[in-house]
Structure 1
């Protein structure tokens, strides 16, 4: 079922690669990044105000953490960000990561662990893999040998985790217990449903349905817990990267978009490309737990 919602353009950020959108319940605000412009954005839905801070490198994500900080994934490792001083501080390298890789997407589980992935910055080599940051310890966790990783996304109960292999157009799922992910198994082959689009950042809502942006697809898609397509929502931008559910009722969808693969002629068909978008979702999301830093 294709739905054409009333989409609102919240901010024309002109993102090359907008990504990592997340609802911050403590601040009642949105964080997202523009990876290629090295930008960390904050957006206040109540006032419409926004703030942009330059990161010290390509920044894939920023997650609310304890002590009022954010934990951020940059090309060369993990950093903390202090919104008060607007300063980044290097926290950790990622052991074994090649120099041509960067960090791309992440989430927290109910225990405050961070699950994240790496990828080849040129999107050619299958050098990406997934990790977990568990109170200061970083260890490999989940599939490896992936060109473009996205997600992970964790179920509200913390018993399942989803891994996206964007280039292969597939999403995998694994059982999750006490911070340990089991073997990943197929969840959905999005290429069979959307041959010309690629699954990007996923999230899970309160009904255990998975949402994913569709890069080159002009929509977001929602799948039930068994991997069946429950619906799609059309967007006025072609390259949809990630969605978050937040707001007072947790039913406002916030969507990041990209322009880095668009030609000049494409902008006439996709006028909101590069913007932060929003629409009213039929179901509520689940606020992610704060990152436990140590």
Structure 2
């Protein structure tokens, strides 16, 4: 297994950097400072990034994604919001199943059809408090999963038939069969359960070869896994808490990695002065840009339903 090295990017130092995505239409990178409630923008060129500004949203912002109808969709506080190009923010929906101040939105991504998928967690990461939601192309929001601990990275296989979802609580990457036509989850299996000492899986993305790139929180690496779960290679960082990653740039060849100093003891933080910065790496493969949300930007509603409870799990997978 050949290890790769990431290099830091000049730019803002975040309190808890998360969720980098590449917006192909605008040719820019977006990422969030989650607990500070900020959305950052940058341009890619020459194998690095140049800062493109910051928007203070307030509250907590777990994820930002481009919207086909203009601006960006945010997974923020206890629901969703729309960020316009002029910097104004408008709430789209507060989720009735989430509690402001107790739970918050975390990672989000769009499926190949343009539906929005997003997860939640408790501020104290209490087991079983997280959920997973789908926003359909008519603005209807459905809770698909309950009983997660820290719903984290979301990505798809190149053909869209497999959804990968991280639950950082049990340090597990789940693989679900996925129906792109309906947005429904099928059978599921634990693809990767992180070994002790490796850190825990956080955010992730997939490359054009169908492999997964996974930020290992506490492990100081971004790992590349085959769709079978085999560990192929790793990108080493000089900081211990990478949070997520994406492919960026016009050719999709630059792997961008967000990091965080959150919770580091003062002694460790002094040893990791670059924690909170973005890093980039040339990894020899390409990856897709973020799929924009393709639904309406008003009139969102919740649909009642019975989500699959993921809390009844063991190492063989969730109970049926």
Instruction: List gaps (5 residues or longer) in structure 1.
Output: none
Pick one of 186, 189, 201 that aligns with 1:199: 201
Kindly provide the CA deviation profile for residues 195-230 of structure 1, in whole angstroms up to 9, marking residues without a partner as x. 351100011111110111010111100110111111
What's the counterpart of residue 15 of structure 1? 14
Instruction: Give the secondary-structure state (helix, strand or coil) at the position aligned to 2:69.
Output: helix
Name the CA distance, whole Å, in 2 between partners of 1:262 and 1:50: 28
Pick one of 227, 230, 252 that aligns with 1:228: 230
Name the CA distance, whole Å, in 1 between partners of 2:7 and 2:199: 23
Instruction: Give the secondary-structure state (helix, strand or coil) at the position aligned to 2:40.
Output: strand
Q: CA deviation at 1:73?
A: 0.5
Name the CA distance, whole Å, in 2 between partners of 1:45 and 1:247: 5
Cα pair 2:197 2:219 within 8 Å, conserved = no
Q: CA deviation at 1:183?
A: 3.3
What's the counterpart of residue 158 of structure 2? 156
Cα pair 2:69 2:294 within 8 Å, conserved = no
What's the counterpart of residue 167 of structure 2? 165
Q: CA deviation at 1:27?
A: 1.2
Give me the TM-score of the superposition, normalised by structure 1.
0.94
Kindly provide the CA deviation profile for residues 79-131 of structure 1, in whole angstroms up to 9, marking residues without a partner as x. 01112x11111111223223311000011111001111011012124210111
Distance 1:268 1:57, change over 3 A: closer
What's the counterpart of residue 185 of structure 1? 189
What's the counterpart of residue 93 of structure 2? 92
What's the counterpart of residue 129 of structure 2? 127
Q: CA deviation at 1:264?
A: 2.0
Name the CA distance, whole Å, in 2 between partners of 1:53 and 1:242: 20
CA RMSD for the aligned pairs? 1.5
Q: How does 1:66-145 map to 2 (within 5 A)?
A: 66-83=68-85, 85-99=86-100, 100-135=102-137, 136-141=139-144, 143-145=145-147
Query: Higher mean Cα deviation, 254-263 or 264-273?
Result: 264-273
Cα pair 1:106 1:151 within 8 Å, conserved = yes
Q: How does 1:201-280 map to 2 (within 5 A)?
A: 201-280=203-282
Cα pair 1:108 1:289 within 8 Å, conserved = yes
What's the counterpart of residue 4 of structure 2? 4
Name the CA distance, whole Å, in 2 between partners of 1:10 and 1:26: 23
Q: CA deviation at 1:269?
A: 3.0
